Amino acid sequence: MPNFDLTGRVALVTGSSKGIGFSLSKGLAKAGARLVMNGRDEDDLEAAAGTLRATGAQVDTLSFDVTDPAAVREAVNDYERVGQIDILINNAGMQHRGPLEDFETDAFDHLMRTNVNSAFYVGQAVAKHMILRGQGKIINIASVQTALARPGIAPYTASKGAIANLTKGMATDWARLGLNCNAIAPGYFDTPLNAALVADPEFSAWLEKRTPQGRWGNVEELQGAAVFLASDAASFVNGHTLYVDGGITASL
């Protein structure tokens, strides 16, 4: 199916050393894309890249801090001098749990910089080059918390709500310039970010009852959504948040 073929395209995935970012990188590579993997820890990044190269994937690495706008611009512009980024997945993110009334302001600022500012910084830097070419795909990683809230994670919920609206704004400004800007909102997936919840039998039992499909998601189940939104098959999809959540946002 040629509309889903990513051969010859280059995809930058932020925060791709592990978890969802690593799985999305693997999925894009299987669809033919060349990868540009990003992370702050160079050792972890090279290990992840090596794992994918061993499967035959074409992989470059860019180690930069997505919360540093100057570092982002420098890294993106340097790469664009020798290649081009056709697909961007803004995946880098973090979680910090705690009662809202006691949530430290520094922790709130750090979470927002990591989850929201980074998507703006990297999105803007990459979009400037995409706009010159008249085409490009930007995919932001939102969350089931884009639509729903749980106790103890109000700042995270706020950040993921912001990602959905930033995605709409990107589409509104950049669709006319040839870009497709969308988001994927994962439900509850077994990832390092959710390790404490996965290890909690009480929470897992609650989640299985709350989710129509009755289980945690596997990160491989996000790959199809990413390939779709990165491909020509999604040529008229813009400003959309695609929930991949086992039905949890569809039911009470």
In this prediction, residue 252 carries a pLDDT of 86
Assess if CATH 3.40.50.720 describes domain 2-250. yes
| Mean pLDDT rounded to a whole number for the chain | 97
In this prediction, residue 192 carries a pLDDT of 82
The answer to whether residues 152 and 99 touch, using CB atoms and an 8 Å cutoff, is yes
In this prediction, residue 249 carries a pLDDT of 97
In this prediction, residue 196 carries a pLDDT of 87
Task: Kindly give, in sequence order, each residue whose CB lies less than 8 Å from that of residue 6, ignoring residues fewer than 6 positions away.
Answer: 28, 31, 32, 33, 87, 227, 230, 231
| pLDDT digit string, tens, across residues 116-175 | 999 999 999 999 999 999 999 999 999 999 999 999 999 999 999 999 999 999 999 999
pLDDT at 177 over 90: yes
Q: Exactly one of 79, 121, 156, 243 is catalytic; which is it?
A: 156
Whole-angstrom distance, CA of residue 62 vs CA of residue 58:
14
pLDDT at 193 over 90: no
| pLDDT digit string, tens, across residues 58-113 | 999 999 999 999 999 999 999 999 999 999 999 999 999 999 999 999 999 999 99
**Would you call 156 a catalytic residue per the annotation?**
yes
In this prediction, residue 1 carries a pLDDT of 83
Provide the 10 A C-beta neighbour count for residue 101: 6
